[in-house]
Amino acid sequence: MEKSKAFESAAGDITIDDMYKLMIGSVVPRPIAWVSTRSKSGVLNLAPFSFFTVASRNPPILLISIGPGVGERQGTVKDTLLNIRETGEFVINMVPASLVESMQRSSADVASEEDEFELAGVTPKTGIRVGVPSVLESPIAFELTLDRIITVGTDHLVLGKVEHVRVDAEAYAGHYKIAIDSWQPLASLAGDYALITPAFSV
C-alpha cells in the first residue's frame, strides 16, 4: 500500500467542501448537542449538531453552530434555527452511546410538519422553564432561552442561556460533578462516532 503524502495548501485554494472535511476530521472529538425545539404551530423538532461548546460560565451559556440546509433543502434555513428564532427557546440533550441509533434517525432530512421525537423513537419530557420538551431517555438536558444569534459566514452561532438543568442518577457523581464513565457520552468524528477512552490525569 502506497504511503500517503503530506498535504499543505493556502485556504483560498481549497474548495468549501474539502476545507470542511479537513476541519471536521481534525477538530475531534466533538460533543453532540441533540437539540429539541418546537415550532410556532407546536410541531416538535429534534436534530443533532456537533459544532457545539460552552460559550460562557457566568451567565451559563452554551453555543451551537447551525449551517444552511443541505440536499433538497439547500438554500433554506434549518427548522432548528427557524424555531429558535420564533420561540426563543430550545433544549440541548446530551447523547449517550445507547441513543446513537435514535440520534442518527433524527438527522434525516424530513418535512417540517413531521414530529422528530416520533421519528427518533424517543419520549418528550415536559420542560420546567421552557415550553420545549427534553428527551426523556437522555441522561442530561439543558433548558435554554435564546441569548443571541450571530451570523458567521454561511452559519449561525446560536447562544442560549441555561435556565434549568436535569441530570439523571446514572450520570450524576454528586457535588455538581458528572459521572462520565457511567453514561458513555458519544463523540462525533468525521462522519463516524467514538466513545471516550478511560480518562487520565497529567
Per-residue pLDDT at 71: 55
User: pLDDT-derived band of residue 181, with 50, 70 and 90 as boundaries?
Assistant: confident
**Consecutive H or E run containing 117:** helix 116-120
Query: How large a percentage of the chain has pLDDT more than 90?
Result: 83
Reported as a single tens digit per residue, the pLDDT across 55-110 is 999 999 999 999 987 655 555 689 999 999 999 999 999 999 999 999 999 998 88
CA-CA distance, 95 to 102, in Å (whole number)?
10
Q: Under a CB-based contact definition with an 8 Å cutoff, are residues 180 and 13 in contact? A: no
Residue ranges of domains in the chain, CATH in brackets:
27-195 (2.30.110.10)
Q: What is the pLDDT of residues 140-177, one digit of tens each?
A: 999 999 999 999 999 999 999 999 999 999 999 999 99
